[in-house]
Amino acid sequence: MMKSHIVSFCATVALATVISAQNVSASPQDYEFQLVQDALPLAQDTIISVRLMHKPTGKPVGDAVIFATRLDMAPDGMPTMMADLEALPSEETGIYRYRTTLGMEGSWRLSLAAKVQGEKDTVQSRLVLKAKN
């Protein structure tokens, strides 16, 4: 009887250790940017919307500070062809919006770097969207 108590106690401690280790190792890989629409019209004043998700909980992250963005045509071999991005106010938790002008049909790469509350490492992402007439 005594022996089985010890075994189950050890198993509980081991499980608790695993759980706390997972908490400590929360990392940028826990977050994911997603394009709300991956095809957009070739037009002025196109709005690009991206959603930032916390993957372990499946919840959108509304308090991230996105401090670097770049939109270019690197996927089509034109990394120096860039479009300006103007950050717009968020209208929905976890959705970040940018106004741009997509002046050429093809694939555009959106690069993002973000700081998330309570996360010391930067979350970085590169998303590819299509501009179509």
User: Which residues in this chain contact Cu ion in the complex, by CB under 5 A?
Assistant: 73, 78, 81, 104
Cβ proximity to Cu ion, 81 vs 95, nearer residue: 81
**Smallest gap from residue 124 Cβ to Cu ion (A):** 23
Rounded Cα gap, residues 50 and 56, in angstroms: 18
**Smallest gap from residue 133 Cβ to Cu ion (A):** 14
Cβ proximity to Cu ion, 77 vs 118, nearer residue: 77
Cβ proximity to Cu ion, 25 vs 80, nearer residue: 80
**Smallest gap from residue 81 Cβ to Cu ion (A):** 4
**Smallest gap from residue 99 Cβ to Cu ion (A):** 19
Indicate the burial class of 97 (C-beta count within 10 angstroms; 0-12, 13-18, 19 or more): middle
Cβ proximity to Cu ion, 71 vs 112, nearer residue: 71
The H-or-E segment that residue 41 falls in is: strand 39-41
| Helix, strand, coil share of the chain (percent; to 5) | 20, 45, 30
First to last CA, the chain: 75
